[in-house]
A = this chain, B = another copy of it.
Amino acid sequence: MEKRQVDKNLIKQIKKWIQEGTNIEISVLLESMYAQDIAEVVNGLTLEESRLILTLVEKEKLVKVLVEIEEPNRESFFESFSPFDIANEFIEKMDSDDAVYVLGQLPEERKDEVINKLTDIEYASQLLSLLSYKEYTAGSLMAVELVKSKITSTVAACIEEIRAQAENVDTIYVVYITDEFERLVGLITLKNLILASPNSLLSDVYNKEVISVPTSCSIEEISNLTRKYDLVVVPVVDPLGRLVGRITVDDVVDVMQEEADENYQLMSGITEDVDATDKVWILARARLPWLIIGLLGGIASSRFIELYEDQIRIHPEMAFFMPLIAAMGGNAGVQSSAIVVQGLANDTLGTKNIVPKILKESRVALINGLICSILILAYNLVFNNSTDLAFTVSIALITVIIFASLFGTFVPLLLNKLKIDPAIATGPFITTTNDLLGIAIYFSMGHLLYDIY
């Protein structure tokens, strides 16, 4: 097999072959391709085309392809199969974590029907219990396929265990060691297993240092653990410490990347998971909501400025610095919220106490606010703008930077407490509210100062 650049030309070629009905060429091509590449092709085809292609993939590879393709394509492919066939031809042949993923995307009723039809009752009940875990926890992401051995066994017996399990477990890096109550007590790597003499007791050669996670552990925590301790696979234990599954790093990486992409897109005001190759109208739709929120914010600020119409007529120079004040509020707010959101994601922040964070943030804002205010004051005085205006702008600027920073810190922390994804309070949301805040502060300030003089 060869890994392939799945590009427009390849997909065009396949579409042409499908139209011409030359299935042999397609089969030969598919045989030479990795499941992941086939999945990429399938995702580029229409539902009808993809259904045809999938019927041409050899059985064993097909199961892998089905895990990788997008939901509508899978749904459309499954339509021509009975729940019994879906269960025993496909689900039964998947690793439990993949099966859970695929089942989780089926409509509730159909999911239950498929699980019901599994002839392997033990597997069915395992899947049911996996499906009962909360999303994005270790329990919902783990696979139950693993090789374990009792601590009282010998190395030779352990190797026999691997032989017995080999068909069920694709990739084996370590054998987990359990005590008589099925509790996880350690592990032995395949390397050390090979190096050990067959007659040794596992208890003499195993490694007690095993990092495990409870079934309730969040994906962020698992991701932080795998990164920190360079783990390739993490065992999962139940509240009694019994080994119930394992999570491999590739699944963790996928979720991590998804989350990073999502935060990035929220920061940039895009509401759906899109990429540059998506269709024009999908791209447009993904961006419209935040543009409209920006529009509403802009309308609100226009109503606010309208209150000061007379003042602008007398002092049109007030208008000169409106964009500066609004932009600086937006920038300072986005910076604060980004640091909070990232701190929450990497779990370096702790969530216990909001007050010290707000205090710290105010000091940062005070420093930067002061520096920026002094700079703009100097500019205004040097370039001969009126003293009134100069002081209005500077005082408004430092106030805006401080308020925007506190707002940018407080809102994501609050959302996080309320169990709402704090990342939605980044990007355009913060920019828009802080624009408004900035304008309000600026004009109130101006009104006050001009009135004094």
Contacts and interface: CB of A to CB of B under 8 A. Distances in A.
A134 interface: no
B276 A339 contact: yes
A419 interface: no
A343 interface: yes
Interface string A363-379: 11001100110011001
B295 A376 contact: yes
Contact of A431 (B298, B321, B330, B372): B330
A301 interface: yes
A351 to B, nearest CB: 11
Given A326-B327, A327-B432, A375-B292, A189 B171 contact: yes
Interface stretch (A81-89, A103-111, A302-310): A302-310
A159 interface: yes
A368 B288 contact: yes
Given A283-B339, A324-B302, A331 B291 contact: yes
Interface string A246-260: 001110011011001
B3 A211 contact: yes
A332 interface: yes
A34 interface: yes
B253 A264 contact: no
| Residue from A36, A303, A321, A335 whose CB has the most chain B CB atoms within 10 Å | A335
Nearest to A439: B323
A349 B193 CA distance: 45
B254 A227 contact: yes
Contacts of A281: 367
A267 interface: yes
A139 interface: no
Contact of A294 (B283, B313, B327): B327
Nearest to A287: B335
Interface stretch (A11-19, A48-56, A119-127, A228-236): A228-236
A306 B320 CA distance: 6
Interface residues of A, number: 116
A28 interface: no
Contact of A276 (B191, B263, B349, B379): B349
Given A191-B190, A260-B264, A277-B343, A288 B371 contact: yes
A177 interface: no
Contacts of A225: 3
A312 B323 contact: no
A339 B270 contact: yes
A424 to B, nearest CB: 14
Contacts of A294: 324, 327-328, 331
A339 B269 CA distance: 10
Interface string A4-44: 00000000000000000000000000000010100000000
B376 A299 contact: yes
A29 to B, nearest CB: 16
A281 B232 CA distance: 38
A173, A268, A290, A320: residue with the most chain B Cβ atoms closer than 10 Å: A268
Interface string A162-179: 110010000111000000
Given A275-B346, A284-B367, A287-B364, A319 B312 contact: yes
A180 interface: no
Given A287-B335, A287-B368, A321-B298, A431 B166 contact: no
8 contacts: A226-B253, A249-B249, A267-B267, A269-B334, A276-B343, A280-B360, A309-B317, A323-B439
Interface of A: 1, 3, 34, 36, 159, 162-163, 166, 171-173, 189-191, 193-195, 209, 211, 225-232, 248-250, 253-254, 256-257, 260-261, 263-265, 267-270, 274-277, 280-281, 283-284, 287-288, 290-292, 294-295, 297-299, 301-303, 305-306, 309-310, 312-313, 316-317, 319-328, 330-332, 334-335, 337-340, 342-343, 346, 348-349, 357, 360, 363-364, 367-368, 371-372, 375-376, 379, 401, 426-428, 431-432, 435-436, 439
* A-B pairs with lowest CB-CB distance, top 10: A298-B324, A268-B338, A276-B343, A230-B250, A190-B190, A260-B260, A302-B320, A312-B316, A284-B367, A319-B319
